[in-house]
């Protein structure tokens, strides 16, 4: 048997497909027939030093995959099957794993580390396997370096798997001590030191208490900083990774160390190898992220009770930091603009410079201008590009007052460079910089416009010309045009772009047909720019937008003609369909927003719908989503006439609702059900059984991403509002779901920010469902069916009011439900309403709200309540 | 524990256009859900049999029963200029019918107020300016006001784009706009709301803005509310005889549960708004045409002692009510039509005497003409 396992594991890695397939089937069969024996065999294989390394590694990997999976529900099942295993079996497996940590074979040790951490992830939160950490810590004192290395690696994975609050502080202290000792320069073995440094990266989240203690923090910081000077590149890199993580986790503790860290990072950026230099730059980018967040949260106005004050590290480091970053800009790689995956020190440095500008604003300008002026006309392309990139990077952050005079001078230069510079790299960055100029310094909020009737013609001529350049330059020119159009979005009934509209649209369509449009994302950029040009167009050009409809429809039609496609071609087809459906969606939304254009557009509705249905028939997820979004827009534009498409469309709607894996598709489809409810009103009735069944299934599923659940509740409201008292038959299913969700979402105590946000969105969905149901039943003889639910709903309102953590959206929806309940149930609920806290304190609070939407809903609710209790 | 990927977006916008499309769709859906909810909330809670034909007629004759086209229509209208604006506003009149009998449930279901004498008009405030338009759509005043977005002031409460539309009577002698109804407030359409709700909203919102204050640099005319009463005996008496700061011109009756459905029929006549005039509460007891025609002293009595009826002329010469379905009352011959230059669709006013249907004093009038002359 044992020999057989080894052979099967080796066969599973055979180059012969048949052998491999046979082996995989046997493994699967073994797992299904006898799980305990299967897991025992695998752990035995992994622990056995006589076995080949290949079979041991695969044994460990299969073992790991038997404990964890990406999908939530699968993971849950695996955890269940582990928990229910016989204790003796589990103990034997654990023994094998711990034993493997002492193996001479590093791959076996490393695999065992990962499996141990997975089991710890399941058992430690249940207070099981208490001896694990003790036994690991005892390994640390062993002589053999391989054991110490494997143990530190295991501790690192363990910290990644389990949450800090399941390990008590005493053990945390011991783990940290072991890890930091392993990192110390006195540790002679580099493998041990590297494992310790990487372990610290994961253990930092456990070190809250230790970072609050000056002595312990000093010690940890000293060891980390020393490790950045190790002769071993991987250790230096791992140590800088720790610094990056510390910069965001313990920003407020850094003041004492920032000067030293600056010196260390500056030296690394200038002298060290790229992987290390990149981490050193990332440290400063990360500090910028922190300070931007803090300054945004508090608007620079710090009171005593702010959570974390801003230490202005960037502002203080500015005079040294900026020259360091500017130097990196000159270290470009030749073809970085053609390579999607490129990331180098020049790119990292420029990105960091942009973040620094956002952090300090105006102060950066005088520090960067001399560099730009000195380099922008140099014969060496690297210098011109670096200067241009520096300029583009600092356009977000400083005030328009500071930048506008400079930009006015630079604009002419940039336009000339984009036309004439011989270097593609320079042109790429120039076009990007023009886009940044338009993004941040052009628009209705800017006092002195940089784009005027006088220079607009030239700008457009240059951009359209550049759209014929090599793909990466053309893509950036499209991007610049995107922001140019966006800046005219709120320009009133007449747009400066109107005279150029036809020419711009034509040029963009031409780009989409370029042979090389699939390079550098060019085709995508062209369609996205077309979308923005349409969104920002005015009535003056409505006829031209209308004219686009048959053109885009024809393009979409062409994608459907291909015969047998290879999987590569199919992917391209699906991507193109996504772009075209997206474009049509934007056009429909634009034309549908005014009566005359909507009327003209409607002549195409049938044909468009037919195209969408054919796109659905191609069955590709991304297209599915884009076509679904486009259908929502179409339903809104067509109104009740959409009914004629329902018989054919319905199956795709159902398919979309069933798409759990791509939850975005599911979410979009739920939104479209709402659109269709509002378009069809009670004509949606024949489809409601199917839709409601699927929505109820989705709610009960633990496979569906939780973010889709609140919109499903809102969708109940949309359906109820559309079909009125016909919602009756769904009450017995929907109401208990709503009640239990309401109970779950009533309290948030102890939850983190994300969970509070989610809870509020859940509450909002539940309340929108109640609103729709009440209003749907209003004036019907069946309103009495809702009376039994009134008490629970009022209690729910009371309890979320008591929690004091609802956001403005929930507040508005909640007070609205109060009114809906009173409005629909009238005197039937008069007494209950009068007894509820919501009808008094909560209502009063809403009545005096500064948010006029809340206030309006509250005033309406008050009227409805007065009517209900006065009868 | 391989090194972590630290690539950041390079030369890329922070949000992809696809993400933007998703978000814009979500915004659109949320907006439409709000609109639908809002519409549902404003529909009368107490629709009773006698007021039901109103909304029913609408949903059957309107090609689009959803609320949004109307909403759009109002939004659109607030921005109209010139001839277009005149045309739109001229169509939107909610004009009362003469009160020829006492409605059922008068004390429970109706409001009454003394109508100020003056020009009936819509007041639109938007984009930093205010405009009043008469019933025929022509502009009366163009001025700054304290209404929302009604003047170019630094006050940033609400967007400059937001607009409000009030139904007013301009009272010459004290240069005051008396607000008798509200169509739309800060883009919050009261189209489908009951009169009860509209009056409540009006009284709670108007004073807040300062529109009722005395005129100032950014507020050229004063706005004022009229006292509205329930139609019980005390209320009727207060409206009929009570002192008001303006010259009275009859009594206005509003059904509490009437929705502000403008396009109910082509004329804007709505049976849920009625007017009563007599010597005690109006100086314009007789319309001017009547005055021209009946110089004789007894003419007043003659006209108002008769019941009157307004009928629509059909293609075939039939005269029918504007009900749905129309009820045919009688017919006129070709010669009559030619003589009076009437066309199909014209509304004709008749007086009903003891003997049945007669033309008032043997003459025929087109109601549209008459109404434009009666200063309601």
User: CA A611 to CA A614: how far, in whole Å?
Assistant: 5
Backbone phi, psi, residue B225, to 5°? -90, 155
How far does chain B reach from its first CA to its final CA, in angstroms? 84
Q: Do A633 and B72 touch (CB under 8 A)?
A: no
The reply to whether B43 touches chain A by the CB within 8 Å rule is yes
pLDDT tens-place string over residues A627-659: 999 999 999 889 889 999 999 999 999 999 998
Nearest-neighbour CA in chain B from A238: distance (Å): 7
> What's the maximum distance between 2 C-alpha atoms anywhere in chain A?
89
Nearest to B26 among A201, A202, A671 (CB): A671
pLDDT tens-place string over residues B62-116: 333 333 344 445 555 555 555 555 555 655 555 666 666 677 778 888 889 999 9
Residue B127's pLDDT band, with cuts at 50, 70 and 90, is confident
Residue B349's pLDDT band, with cuts at 50, 70 and 90, is low
Q: Do A348 and B8 touch (CB under 8 A)?
A: yes
* Predicted complex ipTM: 0.80
Say what the pLDDT of residue B306 is. Answer: 42
Nearest-neighbour CA in chain B from A25: distance (Å): 31
Share of chain A above pLDDT 70, in %: 97
pLDDT tens-place string over residues A23-67: 999 999 999 999 999 999 999 999 999 999 999 999 999 999 999
The reply to whether B161 touches chain A by the CB within 8 Å rule is no
Say what the pLDDT of residue B25 is. Answer: 86
Whether pLDDT at B301 is above 50: no
Whether pLDDT at A92 is above 80: yes
Q: Do B200 and A201 touch (CB under 8 A)?
A: no
Alpha helix ranges (H) inside chain B: 17-42, 53-61, 68-77, 82-91, 106-109, 195-209, 233-241, 288-293, 299-304, 334-340, 367-373
Whether pLDDT at B262 is above 50: no
Nearest to B66 among A238, A594, A639 (CB): A639
Q: Do B6 and A632 touch (CB under 8 A)?
A: no
By DSSP bridging, strand B328-331 and strand B318-320 are antiparallel
Residue B274's pLDDT band, with cuts at 50, 70 and 90, is confident
8 Å CB contact between B191 and B260: yes
pLDDT tens-place string over residues A769-816: 999 999 999 878 888 999 999 999 999 999 999 988 889 999 999 999
Say what the pLDDT of residue A453 is. Answer: 84
Whether pLDDT at B156 is above 60: no
> Which residues is B179 bridged to in the sheet?
B168, B225
The rounded mean pLDDT for chain A is 92
For B35, the closest chain A residue by CA position comes to A678
pLDDT tens-place string over residues A128-179: 999 999 999 999 888 899 999 999 999 999 999 999 989 999 999 999 999 9
pLDDT tens-place string over residues A442-483: 987 777 889 988 899 999 999 999 999 999 999 999 999 999
User: CA B326 to CA A150: how far, in whole Å?
Assistant: 93
Whether pLDDT at A672 is above 50: yes
Whether pLDDT at B370 is above 50: no
Whether pLDDT at A379 is above 80: yes
CA–CA–CA angle A349, A352, A355 (5° rounding): 155
A-B C-beta contacts closer than 8 Å = 129
Most confident of A504-508, A570-574, B294-298: A504-508
Q: Give the pLDDT mean for A717-725.
A: 94
Backbone phi, psi, residue B132, to 5°? -115, 140
The reply to whether A472 touches chain B by the CB within 8 Å rule is no
DSSP assignment of B222-274, as one string? EEEEPP-EESSHHHHHHHHHS--SS-EEEEEEEETT-B--GGGSTT-EEEEEE
Find chain A residues with C-beta within 8 A of B29's C-beta.
Answer: 632, 671, 674-675
From A572-581, A734-743, B180-189, the region with the lowest mean pLDDT: B180-189
Nearest-neighbour CA in chain B from A518: distance (Å): 17
DSSP state of A379: S
Q: Do B41 and A820 touch (CB under 8 A)?
A: yes
Say what the pLDDT of residue B44 is. Answer: 30
Nearest-neighbour CA in chain B from A849: distance (Å): 14
Q: By three-state DSSP, how is residue B311 classified?
A: strand
Nearest to B45 among A439, A778, A852 (CB): A778
8 Å CB contact between A625 and B21: no
pLDDT tens-place string over residues A846-863: 999 988 889 888 988 998
From A230-244, A256-270, A310-324, B216-230, the region with the lowest mean pLDDT: B216-230
Of A456, A349, A343, nearest in space to A394 by CA: A349
Q: How far is CA A113 from the centre of its chain?
A: 30
The reply to whether B7 touches chain A by the CB within 8 Å rule is yes
By DSSP bridging, strand B328-331 and strand B229-230 are unpaired
Find chain A residues with C-beta within 8 A of B192's C-beta.
Answer: none
Nearest-neighbour CA in chain A from B143: distance (Å): 22
Whether pLDDT at A94 is above 90: yes
The rounded mean pLDDT for chain B is 68
DSSP state of A19: H
Say what the pLDDT of residue B23 is. Answer: 87
Q: Do B69 and A595 touch (CB under 8 A)?
A: yes
Range 826-865 of A in CB contact (< 8 A) with B = 826, 852, 856, 859-860, 863-864
Q: Do B17 and A675 touch (CB under 8 A)?
A: no
Predicted TM-score (pTM) above 0.80: no
Q: What kind and span of H or E run contains A212?
A: helix A208-212
């Amino acid at each position: 048997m044992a020999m057989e396992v080894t052979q099967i594991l080796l066969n599973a890695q055979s180059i012969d497909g048949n052998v491999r397939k046979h082996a995989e089937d046997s493994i699967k069969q073994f797992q299904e027939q006898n799980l305990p024996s299967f897991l025992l065999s695998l752990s035995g294989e992994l622990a056995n030093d006589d076995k080949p390394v290949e079979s041991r590694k695969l044994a460990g990997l299969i073992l790991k995959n038997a404990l964890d999976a990406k999908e939530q529900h699968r993971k849950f099942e695996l955890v269940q099957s582990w928990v229910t295993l016989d204790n003796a079996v589990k103990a034997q497996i654990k023994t094998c794993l711990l034993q493997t940590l002492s193996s001479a074979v590093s791959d076996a040790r490393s695999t065992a580390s990962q499996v141990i951490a997975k089991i710890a992830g399941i058992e430690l939160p249940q207070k099981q396997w208490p001896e694990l950490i003790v036994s690991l810590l005892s390994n640390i004192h062993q002589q053999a370096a391989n054991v110490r290395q494997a143990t530190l690696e295991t501790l690192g994975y363990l910290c990644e798997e389990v949450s800090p609050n399941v390990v008590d502080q005493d053990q945390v202290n011991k783990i940290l001590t072991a890890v930091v000792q392993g990192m110390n320069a006195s540790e002679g073995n580099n493998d041990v030191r590297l494992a310790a440094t990487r372990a610290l990266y994961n253990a930092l989240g456990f070190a809250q208490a230790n970072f609050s203690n000056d002595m312990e923090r000093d010690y940890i910081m000293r060891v980390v900083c020393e490790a950045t000077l190790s002769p071993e590149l991987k250790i230096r890199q791992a140590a800088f990774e720790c610094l990056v993580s510390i910069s965001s986790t313990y920003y407020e503790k850094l003041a004492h160390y920032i000067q030293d860290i600056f010196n260390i990072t500056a030296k690394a950026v200038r002298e060290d190898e790229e992987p290390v230099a990149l981490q050193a730059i990332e440290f400063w980018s990360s500090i910028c992220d922190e300070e931007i967040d803090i300054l945004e949260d508090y608007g620079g106005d710090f009171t005593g009770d702010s959570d974390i004050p801003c230490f202005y590290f960037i502002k203080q480091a500015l005079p040294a930091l900026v020259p360091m970053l500017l130097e990196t800009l000159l270290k470009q790689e030749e073809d970085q603009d053609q390579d999607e995956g490129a990331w180098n020190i020049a790119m990292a440095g420029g990105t960091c410079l942009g973040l620094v500008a956002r952090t300090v604003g105006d102060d950066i300008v005088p520090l960067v201008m001399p560099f730009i002026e000195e380099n922008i006309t140099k014969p060496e392309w690297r210098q011109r590009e670096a200067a241009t990139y520096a300029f583009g990077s600092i356009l977000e952050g400083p005030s328009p007052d500071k930048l506008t005079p400079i930009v006015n001078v630079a604009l002419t230069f940039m336009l000339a460079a984009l036309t004439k510079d011989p270097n593609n790299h320079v042109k790429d960055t120039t076009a990007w910089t023009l886009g940044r100029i338009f993004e941040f310094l052009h628009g209705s909020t800017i006092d002195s416009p940089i784009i005027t009737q006088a220079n607009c013609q030239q700008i457009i001529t240059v951009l359209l010309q550049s759209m014929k350049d090599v793909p990466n330059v053309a893509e950036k020119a499209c991007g610049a045009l995107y922001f140019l159009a966006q800046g005219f979005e709120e320009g009133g009934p007449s747009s400066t772009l109107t005279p150029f509209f036809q020419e711009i649209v034509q040029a963009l369509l031409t780009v989409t047909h370029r042979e090389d449009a699939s390079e550098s994302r060019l085709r995508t950029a062209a369609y996205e720019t077309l979308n923005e040009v349409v969104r920002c167009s005015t009535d003056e050009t409505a006829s031209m937008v209308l004219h686009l409809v048959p053109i885009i429809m024809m393009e979409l039609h062409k994608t459907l003609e291909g015969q047998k496609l290879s999987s590569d071609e199919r992917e391209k087809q699906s991507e193109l369909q996504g772009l075209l459906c997206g474009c049509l969606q934007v056009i429909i939304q634009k034309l549908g927003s005014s009566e005359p254009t909507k009327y003209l557009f409607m002549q195409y509705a049938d044909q468009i719908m037919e195209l969408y249905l054919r796109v659905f028939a191609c069955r590709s997820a991304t297209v599915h989503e884009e076509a679904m979004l486009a259908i929502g827009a179409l339903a809104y534009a067509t109104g009740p006439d959409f009914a004629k498409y329902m018989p054919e469309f319905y199956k795709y709607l159902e398919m979309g609702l069933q798409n759990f894996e791509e939850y975005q598709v599911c979410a979009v489809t739920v939104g479209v059900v709402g659109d269709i409810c509002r378009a069809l009103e009670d004509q949606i009735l024949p489809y409601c059984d199917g839709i409601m069944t699927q929505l109820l299934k989705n709610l009960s599923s633990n496979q569906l991403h939780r973010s889709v659940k609140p919109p499903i509740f809102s969708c109940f409201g949309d359906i109820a509002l559309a079909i009125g008292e016909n919602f009756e038959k769904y009450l017995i299913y929907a109401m208990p779901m709503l009640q239990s969700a309401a109970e779950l979402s009533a309290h948030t105590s102890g939850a983190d920010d994300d969970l509070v946000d989610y809870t509020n969105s859940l509450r909002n969905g539940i309340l929108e469902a109640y609103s729709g149901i009440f209003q749907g039943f209003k004036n019907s003889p069946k309103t009495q069916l809702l009376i039994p639910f009134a008490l629970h709903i009022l209690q729910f309102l009371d309890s979320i009011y008591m929690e004091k953590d609802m956001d403005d959206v929930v507040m508005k929806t909640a007070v609205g439900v109060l009114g809906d309940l009173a409005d629909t149930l009238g005197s039937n609920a008069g007494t209950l309403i009068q007894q509820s806290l919501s009808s008094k304190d909560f209502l009063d609070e809403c009545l005096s709200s500064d948010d006029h939407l809340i206030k309006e809903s509250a005033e309406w609710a008050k009227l409805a309540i007065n009517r209900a209790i006065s009868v | 524990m391989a090194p972590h990927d630290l690539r950041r977006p390079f030369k890329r916008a922070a949000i992809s256009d696809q993400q933007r499309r998703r978000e814009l769709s979500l915004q659109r859906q949320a907006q439409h859900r709000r609109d639908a909810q809002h519409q549902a909330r404003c529909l009368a809670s107490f629709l009773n049999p006698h007021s039901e034909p109103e909304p029913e007629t609408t949903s059957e004759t309107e090609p689009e029963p959803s609320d949004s086209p109307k909403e759009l229509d109002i939004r659109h209208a607030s921005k109209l200029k010139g001839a277009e604006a005149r045309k739109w506003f001229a169509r939107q009149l909610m004009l009362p019918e003469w009160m020829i009998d006492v409605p059922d449930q008068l004390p429970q279901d109706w409001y009454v107020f003394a109508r100020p004498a003056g020009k009936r008009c819509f007041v639109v405030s938007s984009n930093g300016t205010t405009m009043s338009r008469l019933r025929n759509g022509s502009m009366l005043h163009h001025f700054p006001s304290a209404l929302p977005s009604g003047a170019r002031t630094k006050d940033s409460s609400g967007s400059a784009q937001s607009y409000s539309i009030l139904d007013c009577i301009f009272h010459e002698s004290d240069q005051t706009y008396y607000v008798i109804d509200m169509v739309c407030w800060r883009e919050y359409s009261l189209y489908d709301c009951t009169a009860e709700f509209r009056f409540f909203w009006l009284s709670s919102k108007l004073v807040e803005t300062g529109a009722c204050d005395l005129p100032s640099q950014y507020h050229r005319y004063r706005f004022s509310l009229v006292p509205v009463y329930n139609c019980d005996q005390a209320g009727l008496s207060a409206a009929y005889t009570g002192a008001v700061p303006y010259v009275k011109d009859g009594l206005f009756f509003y059904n509490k549960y009437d929705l502000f459905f403008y396009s109910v029929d082509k004329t804007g006549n709505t049976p849920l708004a009625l007017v009563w005039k007599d010597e005690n509460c109006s100086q314009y007891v007789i319309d001017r045409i009547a005055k021209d025609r009946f110089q004789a002293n007894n003419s007043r009595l003659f006209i108002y002692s008769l019941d009157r009826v307004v009928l629509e002329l059909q293609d075939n010469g039939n005269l029918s009510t504007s009900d749905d379905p129309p009820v045919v009352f009688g017919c006129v011959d070709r010669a009559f039509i030619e003589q009076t230059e009437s066309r199909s669709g014209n509304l004709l006013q008749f007086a009903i005497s003891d003997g049945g249907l007669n033309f008032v004093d043997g003459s025929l009038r087109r109601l549209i003409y008459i109404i434009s002359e009666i200063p309601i």
